[in-house]
Amino acid sequence: MAGINTKQSYTIPCSSRFRDDVTALARRKKVNVGDLVRSVVVIVPPAMCSAYPDPGEPAKSDREGVMVKSGPSKGRLWHRKPRLQARLAPGFEVAALRRALGLALAMDNADITLRLDGLENVSTGAGVAEDWSSDMQDRRDPATPTDHPDDEELARLGAMVSVLSFELLAGGVRTRAEGLYVLGFPPGSRPDIGVLRARFRMLAAIHHPDSGYGSHERMSQLNSAMDILRRPT
């Protein structure tokens, strides 16, 4: 018996520049647009996704030309809104997809700093978030409806995160070698502060208790590791 298709094709109207930037990011990461959306909704708390500004639809003057390939208008040039296509589980709103892709671009460009409860602000050296970042904690609401419609897929990803997570150190993080272990660097390596911050931000998004996959213990050891590794040696 053929499997049931649980994916839906989404058309996401957006500006030409946004489309080109997202397409370029997906190409660099060797993934598709749907993969970018999934990566954001898995690691970023739903309230943060919904609070991030919608990049919006294209301006009236922003249109792309497409040659009609069939029907009575075959061969004519059709001007339409720029768009992205993604295949995802049913249940997403188009604006939520644009916000997730906007977040993917912002995190890739280090244009924002995510501030989660219990975490220090992690600056990437390329600027900090604007008003969205500064008031994110006030806007987080546990009752906010989730943008995660595919519970089975999320459960599978959660199990993978659990298996791949670092083993907690019984005595906590006390040495540089232990800090490297917690942040996933080879023994004896000397990552610079920018690399440390990028790795910390990525792991904090996964292991923070609010992510759905983390724990207070792992988050505490991540913070301790960062404190030790950023000290001058």
- pLDDT, residue 167, reads 80
The tokens 């950023």 sit on which residue? 230
Report pTM.
Answer: 0.50
**Average pLDDT in the chain:** 75
What whole-number percentage of the chain has pLDDT above 90? 27
- pLDDT, residue 205, reads 77
- pLDDT, residue 77, reads 75
Least confident of 81-90, 129-138, 204-213: 129-138
Comparing CA positions, the residue from 104, 85, 86 lying closest to residue 21 is 104
- pLDDT, residue 130, reads 32
- pLDDT, residue 179, reads 92
pLDDT band at 114 (very low <50, low <70, confident <90, very high): low
- pLDDT, residue 172, reads 92
Look at 177 and 112; give whichever has higher pLDDT: 177
Among 89-98, 125-134, 206-215, name the most confident range.
89-98
Mean pLDDT of 188-197: 88
**Cβ-contact 12, 34 below 8 angstroms:** no
Look at 162 and 187; give whichever has higher pLDDT: 187
CATH 1.10.287: which residues of the chain?
165-233
- pLDDT, residue 120, reads 38
Following DSSP, what letter does each residue of 150-202 receive, concatenated? Answer: -HHHHHHHHHHHHHHSPPPPTT---SHHHHHHHHTPPTT----HHHHHHHHHH
Among 24-28, 66-70, 71-75, 153-157, name the most confident range.
24-28
pLDDT tens column, 30-83: 889 998 998 888 777 777 788 888 999 999 999 887 776 777 767 677 778 999
Asked if the model's pLDDT at residue 145 lies above 60, the reply is: no
Q: What would the CATH number be for the domain defined by 165-233?
A: 1.10.287
pLDDT band at 202 (very low <50, low <70, confident <90, very high): confident
User: 3-state class of 112 per DSSP?
Assistant: coil
| Whole-angstrom distance, CA of residue 101 vs CA of residue 18 | 9
